[in-house]
Amino acid sequence: MGNVQRAAHLSESAALKPLGLDCTAEAIARRIEEGTFQNIVVLAGAGLSVSAGIPDFRSEGTGLFSKFREMGLPRPEDVFDIRYFPEHPEPFYELCKDMWPGNYQPTPSHYFIRLLHEKGLLLRCFTQNIDSLETLAGLPKSKVVAAHGNFDSASCISTGESIPIEEVKEHLTKGDWQTLREKYGGLVKPDIVFYGESLPRHFSVRATQDMPKADLVIVMGTSLKVQPFSGLVDAVSDLCPRLLINRELVGERDSVDEVGFRFDAEDNYRDVAMLGDCDAGIRVLCDRLGWTDELKSMMDERDGVPPLPHVSAETSAQLMTRQWSVGAYRPARDPEDGEPTN
């Protein structure tokens, strides 16, 4: 679709104004209360699991890629490269030992997704995460699409044979991957998608069927830098509001293709952001909706779940009422030093 044609299409959609003239988290919360949203899709990334103690991938100094760089990998991404893995499997197997489900507990954000499901509002959760914390929090597997795979199954990369995941866990948690290789005629790994491998067919099938049905998309804790996952943001209808809960703005529109979030557009009519940690954003949203006690009750089902963070009344008000439109959030900059002037 050309720029002019898409602009005209957006202009027509904007006239319908699914959030009225109010591009705020408050407007989204109000419509949740009113029952407007019945098919919510959550797009989840590594930021969802940070409070569980699992580092994200890209944060400088603390992310997993920084750790891999310190291990001497040519590129930190190589730990997930199917071309690198056969010759150097040790870094990935070390990661498996640390990240195997059961080593970490779900976060308040994971329980929020389950809460959406139990209220009958969740259509699907598409996750980039391989930690399986969504299901550990009690979300049915049928509601989760693990775009990059997880630890639910395993196979041999040479033969394609499915390997019992409990057997794989037994050996990999002891650092004994050689026994598996000798037994099955090749390296064995959990079915986590590597660079150079295709995403599970289930991902494309569910994305094709679910995204057009979505009436609200909540994007949480992701950089939206990896396709095709990042493209899900634009796979919804032009009338579907999109809420980003993240430490920073991501996935903003491409000036060429006019895709992505339109926080800075004069004709933004559906994109809203709550900037900060995922758990803080969830706390504020649940407080506003009167869901906090239910969320805490779910979290109490397991030991070791990170607590809900305290968020001040002032910060809560700012997150809920901040208007997202051109010039509404970007500070003016001093042309001489490049620093914000307000």
If we measure between CA atoms, which residue out of 221, 212, 214 comes closest to residue 244?
221
CA dist 307 and 108 (Å) reads 7
23 and 272 Cβ atoms separated by less than 8 Å: yes
CA dist 110 and 127 (Å) reads 11
CA dist 327 and 264 (Å) reads 7
Which tokens hold the place of 31?
Answer: 């419509």
CA dist 26 and 289 (Å) reads 10
CA dist 292 and 290 (Å) reads 6
List of residues 6+ apart from 295 with CB closer than 8 A: 108, 111, 112, 115, 282, 286, 308
3-class DSSP state of 42: strand
Could you say which of 148, 171, 202, 310 is catalytic? Answer: 148
At 211, phi and psi to the nearest 5?
Answer: -60, -40
CB neighbour class for 101 (10 Å; exposed up to 12, middle 13-18, buried from 19): middle
Alpha carbon distances (Å) from 217 to 28, 57, 101, 126: 11, 23, 27, 11
Number of Cβ within a 10 Å radius of residue 340 = 10
Examine the residue annotation and report whether 148 is marked as an active-site residue of this protein: yes
3-class DSSP state of 217: strand
Alpha carbon distances (Å) from 327 to 62, 260, 323: 32, 18, 10
Give the active site residues.
148
